[in-house]
């Protein structure tokens, strides 16, 4: 056997004296590398495994504070068995918070447990009482003057051999002595977990209903672009439907070079307005307003008027340029060039997008470019905009967004960003970790019960829920889902109810409420898409869903269960075409049950298994379910209940579950 | 709306230029806070999510090295789709390793993909070829002189307008140009993950069969203690059974004060030898040898003789003292005192252990105490001991073990420590993370098929397997499991086979092979336990399992599948009393299938579902299974096969699965 040297030991350092270990603190995103997200009014429920060697009793506290303050607030964590501890703290203001867990050996509680056990076994505890007295005396040294005298009193009783043993024991075990001792713990050797961050966002980051509108289509007669003034005329319409964020595609001058024509044709006609995402013309770029829409003043007026209707205006941030954008001339170094000196347009071979030049985020001058892009956002914030929808963020560096959003939200946590990303899950989630407050999702492509259940479980039951806030758009100018193309009005209703109740944030692109369903064949593109032409709409078209949408949005506002995603649960129905799920408030004071017929063509019926026990209802207890959409009221009993959904009349039902049912006991003369 | 200030932006720092993100690197224990564990000869398979914005092609490398060297070795990671990458590296020496992942945008590969797509779509690539030429030229600047001229050649072909386009395209896409370019990548802006650690342990940390023996019982006639000389006489017996580690309970002088008598009685008789764990007497403490066993020289002779029999000797580390230990006199400050000045003995109310004083790891002089304890270990290492079994480590500070084991293994990675901890899972696992190389487990209390399946899934399929090496002892001086008390010889066989094949490390305390099963009623304590008295045994007692154990240990050595736990899988049998599972080598060259009848009283039969497809066997292909215990050979076909296990003849079977079956094609004249 090879001889190896006997090691020379380094002496144990002071840091080794801490006996407590803290592990698996939850919630934490990527082990604390990224903040969790909350809104004011929410609680953060923190759990951790906390333990030490041996059998000593531990004291474990949850610590938390707004990050800017320097003093921790503390609340004791509750021991749940098997080294598991839990506690909650409230988020009360719109600013970053942080939290941590601290634990130490509670020698006094350990002592109490010891004397309790020994006394129960009939053993003498004389020596132990003296040890306890010494501990109480030491705590007295740390105490305020009022408490000090109390502690000194107790110590002297514990140490007094002339008192009866039973009385001394009782003093040692008294809850009020424990409470007193807890006020002056000996925290030497305490272990503290590195602190974790909470990104606190405004309520509408969590709970919002979006409506997307092209202001240039706001005019009701053909041939001329609508203006902000025209769009103001639509504000009551949007507000009546109950939306709270009105999102506008880019409002900037549109390039003329390689402008796309109607239905995405390569050559535009003389009257074709071009895609709003081909940003920039001789008149200006990202900080200018398209002259057909109005002036900057008109825009500000529009934003203010929207506010009076309870609507926030969201702008589109699309960091790309048309060939006519002023930056192309002033900052050619911000773009990629071909060997012949020309600028590279966007491509996804074999597709070419000659009307769009991507910015080169890696160019030599990248730091100035990033700065200027950030200043564009600040410019629109200056006009009162606090919500931004970011176009294709996944084609720009993740660290750019981290920097931009971080810089802005540090002093303006009221500003939020929605990521319009449709890409692989890791990148979707990385954008959310980088700071995006909401994100588009795969919802439009999740149609069967299994698809929806699986996707929502990922979004609401895994770590994802701590940092990724989904926004379920039912359609967009780019996506007219096949389900809507072929399912008719019942399909629109089903998808609306799914989006608005599965996700606390959802969105509708205008035309949806009119059940517009005509696509370019074989695609998800709208025929005669607004992206490339002006559209007029009959907002009162028969069969429209405006009243239905108003009702759904009112139900959302009146039922706090629908403003949150953490408490979503799916319930089994013995017919897979009926999807049934519930949402509740944490205290179960508001219980919503949703049933959707996923088949827009046929009526379906089935038996639902509703876990009444989880809501404190007995197996044979009656309860009321009130269909908030159809206004019907039903008496149910126990877990098994019948559902029937006919797409021609009610493709979906949203039930409010009321646990209390009137009985003879409510009758005045009973008793 | 409250007015808030428009933020002032900090300029983007250089560190933001890295476009690649690396996430979810696996394996990693607690996100890299603790090392994973491997032995020389094993591979580490590393996976990670690596991605960037946009659609550029990435280059991702796994980096690894023995930690003491400064130069990374690299191997390319394979792209598995959906941002997932994987690669392996080998552990070739007994020393700490580290590993990491580095990724960057591969502009040349991106360019190749672009021209391939464009050419396929019939688009011109003249400008792209010039871009490619520029990239190749730049790489030439980074290249060795030989490669440089090659690269310059290729660049000039790519740039040469007089050459036919097809030839230039072919040059650009040629695999050998790609290989050349890969040799000189542009790694500017690469992202590297913080490095992760591998604790490399000797093979027997992973794969070992232990035998526990009280040397004082080694003498075959009553009334006098056995010596190391007597114990040497048993070495051939232990070696013949095929064990490789011989573990001795403490061999130090035993205290006389409050010595425990036979069967744990409070008062010892004059001839009672006392518990070896009550360490220390006038003659000496932890660095002394009990005079009845022999001298230090005898011990060294014993260790050397054991080596010649292929046995390593493991010593017991029990850091506690009898009241007569020299430290009690010399270092009273290392113990806890009562108010009356006496030293506190160990207690777990209402139980009292007056023969044992725990050390106070938190005493004022703790740093010196820790140092002295570490020196005890070094002392025994000096005598040739490299394996330690640590008694009750969970009642000493976790950070003490982290320091002690870390200090020793830094220069002596051949030394290993087994934790004798039976406590809550979090603490068991924390000891393993702190550095223990093996651990006792809950195996003795996992008896039903479901219990075993569940426990082994936790140990071998979760993150636990990366840091926690189970040692399945079938019995210990403290644990005579009820299953053995009442199941007779078939129960001993079943538990032996389970321990030896479920876990790559297992152990037997002497007497097990003789089917000793007499307990103190209602307990798991042996009657007339060796802990408190001398024992004589008839090692040839009829019905003994020594031959059976030899066979099991030979099967373990001859079948590498059994030397590892990662590839354990349970297979369904339609009779829950038959537990069936398989272990394989990673390349499936060795396939072991084990079937155990868990009911020691009745024969059971059932149909096994064996997933032949996973082993490259067709559904209707015949294969041979060879019972290595019973020597029977069976021809099986397809997944469904019949098993019958009669406890009176064969409570267990260990099959070697041979995929190759002879057919007419093996006959010389065939063809």
Q: What is the pLDDT of residues B114-148, one digit of tens each?
A: 999 999 999 989 999 999 999 999 999 999 989 99
For residues A264-303, b (16+ Cβ closer than 10 Å) or e, as one string? eeeebeeebbbbbbbbbbeebbbbbbbebbbeeebbeebb
Q: Is the pLDDT of residue B546 over 70?
A: yes
Window A:10-49, CB contacts with B under 8 Å: 10-12, 16-19, 21, 23-24, 30-31, 49
- Cα-based torsion angle of the residue sequence B69, B70, B76, B78 in order, rounded to the nearest 10 degrees: 70
Quick check: is A354 in a domain?
no
pLDDT band at B383 (very low <50, low <70, confident <90, very high): very high
Residue A522 lies in a domain: yes
> pLDDT band at residue A178, thresholds of 50, 70 and 90?
very high
Split at pLDDT 50, 70, 90, the class of B188 is confident
Tokens of A221: 């007669």
Residue B346: beta bridge partners? B353
Which is nearest to A430 in space by CA: B51, B640, B284?
Answer: B51
Radius of gyration of the CA atoms of chain B, in A: 32
Q: pLDDT of B551-584, one tens digit each?
A: 999 999 999 999 999 999 999 999 999 999 999 9
B117: nearest CB among A350, A424, A430: A350
The least confident of A444-448, A622-626, B316-320 is A622-626
- Per-residue confidence at A418, pLDDT binned at 50, 70, 90? very high
A83 interface with B at CB cutoff 8 Å: yes
Percentage of chain B exceeding pLDDT 70: 99
Q: What is the pLDDT of residues B448-457, one digit of tens each?
A: 999 999 999 9
Q: For chain B, how many structural domains are there in total?
A: 4
Size of interface A-B (CB pairs under 8 A): 198
**Among all residues of chain A, which has the CA nearest to that of B431?**
A53
CB-based contact B131 A397, cutoff 8 Å: no
Of the pLDDT bands very low, low, confident and very high (cuts 50, 70, 90), residue A2 is low
Judged against a pLDDT cut of 70, whether residue B671 lies above it is answered with no
Q: From the CA of B539, how many Å to the nearest CA of chain A?
A: 31
Beta strands at B312-317 and A208-212: parallel, antiparallel or unpaired: unpaired
Strands A84-90 and A78-81 come out as antiparallel
Nearest to A19 among B7, B83, B397 (CB): B397
pLDDT of residue B351: 86
Helix and strand numbers (H, E) in chain B are: 15, 30
Residue where one domain finishes, among candidates B501, B524, B558: B558
Q: How many CB atoms lie within 10 A of CB B146?
A: 7
Chain B neighbors of A340, CB-CB under 8 A:
127, 130
* Co-location of B53 and B176 in the same domain: no
Could A19 and B362 be called an inter-chain contact, meaning their C-beta atoms sit closer than 8 Å? Answer: yes
Strand order in the sheet with A416-420: A438-439, A416-420, A387-391, A312-317, A245-248, A208-212, A505-509, A472-473
Give the best residue of A397, A413, A429, A431 to mutate against chain B (max B CB count within 10 A). Answer: A397
B522 and B578 share a domain? no
Q: Are residues A551 and A448 in the same domain?
A: yes
Active site residue A287: no
Closest-CA residue of B relative to A431 is B53
In chain B, what residues touch A397 (CB-CB under 8 Å)?
Answer: 16, 19, 52-53
Q: Are B572 and B579 in contact (CB under 8 A)?
A: no
* 3-state secondary structure at position A30: helix
Angle, CA of A15, A18 and A20, to the nearest 5° = 145
Residue at A267 is within a domain = no
Residue B574 sits in the same domain as residue B554:
no
For position A435, what pLDDT does the model report?
98
- Spatial distance between the Cα atoms of A217 and B55, rounded to a whole number of angstroms: 34
Specify whether A50 is located in the same domain as A87: yes
Cis, bond preceding A451 (omega within 30 deg of 0): no
Closest CA to A415 of A431, A439, A437: A437
Q: How far is CA B321 from CA A318, A574, B52, B253, B668, in A?
A: 74, 67, 60, 11, 74
C-alpha B255/C-alpha B278 separation (Å) is 6
C-alpha B44, offset from chain centre = 13
Q: Is A304 on the interface with B (CB under 8 A)?
A: no
Higher-confidence residue of A631 and A379: namely: A379
CATH number, domain containing residue A605: 2.60.40.1180
Q: At what angle do helices A175-183 and A145-159 cross, to 10 degrees?
A: 130
Look at residue A270 and tell me if it is in a domain. no
Residue B298 in any domain: the answer is: yes
Q: Which of A15, A16, A132, A306 to mutate to test the interface with B (most CBs of B within 10 A)?
A: A16
A535 shares a domain with A390 = yes
Average pLDDT over all residues of chain B: 95
Does one domain contain both B584 and B551? no
Assess if residue A377 is contained within a domain.
no
> What angle do the packed helices B296-308 and B228-240 form, to 10 degrees?
20
Is A563 part of any domain?
Answer: no
Mean pLDDT across B617-622? 88
Name which of A117, A382, A400 is nearest B350 (Cβ-Cβ). Answer: A117
- The least confident of A24-33, B279-288, B337-346 is B337-346
Looking at B514, B536, B558, the residue that finishes a domain is B558
The active-site residue out of A42, A114, A420, A466 is A420
Cβ within 8 Å of A, B 391-430? 394-400, 402-403, 407-408, 410-412, 414, 424-427, 430
Give B25's contacts in chain A (Cβ within 8 Å): none
Query: Are residues A603 and A518 both part of a single domain?
Result: no
Within this chain, do residues B293 and B409 fall inside the same structural domain, yes or no?
yes
Q: Are residues A462 and A315 in the same domain?
A: yes
Interchain contact, B83 vs A427, CB within 8 Å: yes
**Quick one: average pLDDT of B230-244?**
97
Q: Is B468:B441 a contact under the CB 8 Å cutoff? A: no
Q: What integer best gives the mean pLDDT of chain A?
A: 95
Burial letters for A452-490: b for 16+ Cβ neighbours within 10 Å, e otherwise? beebbeebbeeebbbbbbbbbbbbbbebbbbbbbebbbb
- Residue among A546, A547, A454, A551 at smallest CA distance from A502: A454
**pLDDT at position B1, please?**
47
B456 close to B502: Cβ distance less than 8 angstroms: yes
pTM equals 0.94
Q: Which residue of A has its CA nearest to B132?
A: A339
**Residues in CB range of A547: below 8 A, 6 or more apart:** none
Nearest CB to A349; choose among B118, B371, B402: B118
Give the model confidence (pLDDT) of A295-337 as tens digits: 999 999 999 999 999 999 999 999 999 999 999 999 999 999 9
Virtual torsion, Cα A302, A355, A282, A421, nearest 10 deg: 40
Range of the domain at A615: 569-670
Question: Chain centroid to CA B217: how far?
Answer: 32
Residue B294 Ramachandran class (φ > 0 left, ψ -120 to 50 alpha, else beta):
left
Residues of A in contact with B53 (CB under 8 A): 394-398, 427
The answer to whether B127 faces chain A, any CB pair under 8 Å, is: yes
Residue A221 confidence class, pLDDT cut points 50, 70, 90:
confident
CATH of the domain at B139: 1.20.58.80
Which residues in chain A have their CB less than 8 angstroms from residue B169's CB? none
Residue that is last in its domain, among A170, A200, A230: A200
Rounded alpha-carbon distances, angstroms, from residue A446 to A68, A411, A518, A579: 42, 38, 20, 13
| Gap between the Cα atoms of A239 and A450, Å rounded | 34
* B 222-281 near A (Cβ less than 8 A): none
Whether A3 has a pLDDT exceeding 70, the answer reads no
Say which of B23, B348, B430 has its CB closest to residue A21. Answer: B430
DSSP B52-120: ESTT--EEEEEEEEETTS---EEEEPEE-STTEEEEEEE--SSS-EEEEEEEEE-HHHHHHHHHHHHHH
Q: Is the Cβ pair B123, A382 closer than 8 Å?
A: no
Max Cα distance, chain B (Å): 108
Task: Given the residues B199, B201, B324, B420, select the one marked as catalytic.
Answer: B420
Q: For residue A347, which residues of chain B lie inside 8 Å, CB to CB?
A: 114
B391 noted as active-site residue: yes
Interface of A with B in 446-475 (CB under 8 A): none
Q: CB-CB: which of B131, B367, B378 is closest to A7?
A: B378
Q: Which residues of A touch B93 (CB under 8 A)?
A: none
Pairing status of strand A97-105 against strand A58-66 = antiparallel
Q: What is the phi/psi pair of residue B138, to 5°?
A: -65, -40
SS3 B260: coil
| Whole-number Å distance between alpha carbons of B529 and B520 | 9
Contact A23 B427 (CB under 8 A): no
| Residue in A3, A12, A49, A116 to test binding to B, most B beta-carbons within 10 Å | A12
Task: Identify whether residues A467 and A593 lie together within a single domain.
Answer: no
Asked if B412 and A6 come within 8 Å (Cβ–Cβ), the reply is yes
Which residue out of A3, A4, A7, A105 would a mutagenesis test of the B interface target, given it has the greatest number of B Cβ atoms within 10 Å? Answer: A7
User: Which one of A49, A349, A442 would you mutate to disrupt binding with B, by most B Cβ within 10 Å of its Cβ?
Assistant: A349
Q: Is residue A232 part of a domain?
A: yes
Cβ–Cβ gap B339/A134 under 8 Å: yes
Round to whole Å and give the CA distance between A411 and B14.
23
In angstroms, the separation between the Cα of residue A646 and the nearest Cα of chain B is 40
The ipTM is: 0.93
Chain A residues in contact with B371 by the CB 8 A cut-off are: 9, 11-12
CB contact residues (below 8 A), chain B span 501-540, against chain A: none
Q: What is the pLDDT of residue B659?
A: 81
Does A121 sit within 8 Å of B349, measured CB to CB?
yes
Name every chain B residue with its beta carbon within 8 A of the beta carbon of A30: 23, 31
Pair (A302, A447) in one structural domain = yes
Assess whether pLDDT exceeds 60 at residue B2.
no
């Amino acid at each position: 056997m090879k001889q190896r040297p006997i090691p020379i030991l380094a002496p144990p350092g002071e840091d080794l004296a801490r006996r407590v270990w803290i592990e698996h603190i939850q919630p934490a995103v990527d082990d604390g590398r990224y903040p969790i997200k909350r809104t004011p009014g929410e609680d953060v429920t923190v759990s951790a495994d906390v333990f030490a060697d041996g059998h000593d009793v531990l004291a474990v506290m949850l610590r938390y504070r707004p990050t800017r303050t320097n003093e921790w607030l503390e609340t004791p964590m509750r021991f749940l068995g098997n080294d598991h501890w839990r506690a909650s703290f409230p988020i009360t203001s719109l600013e970053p918070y942080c939290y941590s867990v601290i634990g130490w050996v509670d020698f006094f509680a350990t002592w109490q447990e010891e004397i309790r056990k020994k006394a129960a076994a009939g053993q003498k505890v004389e020596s132990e009482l003296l040890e306890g007295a010494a501990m109480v005396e030491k705590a007295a040294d740390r105490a305020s003057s009022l408490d000090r005298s109390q502690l000194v009193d107790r110590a002297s009783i514990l140490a007094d051999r002339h008192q009866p043993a039973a009385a001394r024991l009782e003093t040692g075990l008294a809850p009020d002595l424990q409470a007193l001792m807890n006020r002056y713990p000996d925290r030497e050797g305490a272990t503290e977990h590195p602190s974790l961050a909470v990104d606190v966002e405004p309520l509408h980051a969590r709970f919002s209903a979006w409506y997307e509108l092209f202001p240039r289509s706001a005019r009701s007669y053909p041939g001329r672009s609508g203006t902000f003034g025209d769009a103001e005329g639509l504000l009551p319409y949007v507000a009546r439907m109950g939306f709270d964020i009105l999102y506008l595609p880019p409002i900037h001058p549109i390039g003329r070079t390689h402008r796309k024509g109607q239905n995405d044709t390569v050559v535009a006609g003389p009257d074709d307005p071009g895609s709003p995402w081909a940003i920039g013309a001789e008149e200006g770029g990202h900080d200018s307003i398209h002259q057909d829409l109005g002036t900057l003043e008109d825009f500000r007026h529009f934003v203010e008027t929207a506010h009076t209707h309870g609507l926030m205006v969201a702008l589109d941030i699309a960091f790309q340029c048309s060939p006519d954008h002023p930056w192309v001339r002033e900052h050619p170094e911000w773009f990629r060039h071909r060997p012949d000196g020309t600028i590279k347009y966007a491509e996804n071979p074999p597709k070419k997008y000659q009307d769009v030049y991507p910015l080169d985020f890696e160019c030599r001058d990248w730091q100035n470019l990033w700065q200027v892009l950030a200043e564009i956002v600040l410019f629109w914030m200056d006009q009162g905009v606090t919500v931004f929808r970011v176009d294709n963020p996944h084609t720009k560096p993740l660290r750019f967004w981290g920097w931009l959003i971080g810089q802005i939200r540090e002093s303006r946590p009221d500003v939020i960003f929605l990521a319009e990303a449709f890409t692989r899950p890791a990148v979707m989630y990385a954008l959310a970790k980088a700071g995006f407050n909401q994100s588009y999702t795969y919802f439009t492509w999740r149609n069967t019960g299994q698809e929806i259940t699986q996707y929502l479980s990922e979004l609401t039951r895994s770590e994802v829920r701590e940092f990724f806030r989904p926004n379920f758009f039912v359609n967009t100018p780019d996506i007219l889902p096949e389900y809507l193309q072929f399912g008719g009005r019942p399909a629109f209703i089903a998808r609306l109810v799914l989006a608005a109740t599965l996700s606390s944030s959802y969105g509708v692109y205008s035309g949806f409420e009119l059940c517009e369903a005509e696509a370019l064949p074989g695609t998800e593109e709208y025929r005669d898409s607004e992206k490339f032409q002006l559209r007029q709409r009959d907002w009162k078209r028969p069969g429209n869903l405006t009243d239905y949408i108003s009702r759904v949005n009112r139900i959302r506002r009146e039922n706090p269960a629908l403003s949150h995603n953490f408490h979503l649960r799916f319930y089994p129905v013995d017919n897979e075409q009926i999807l049934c799920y519930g949402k509740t408030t944490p205290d179960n004071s508001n219980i919503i049950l949703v049933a959707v017929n996923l088949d827009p063509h046929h009526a379906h019926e089935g038996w639902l298994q509703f876990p009444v026990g989880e809501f404190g209802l007995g197996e044979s207890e009656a309860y009321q379910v009130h269909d908030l959409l159809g206004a019907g009221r039903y008496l149910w009993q126990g877990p098994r209940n019948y559902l029937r959904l006919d797409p021609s009349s009610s493709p979906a039902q949203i039930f409010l579950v009321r646990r209390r049912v009137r009985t003879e006991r409510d009758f005045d003369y009973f008793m």
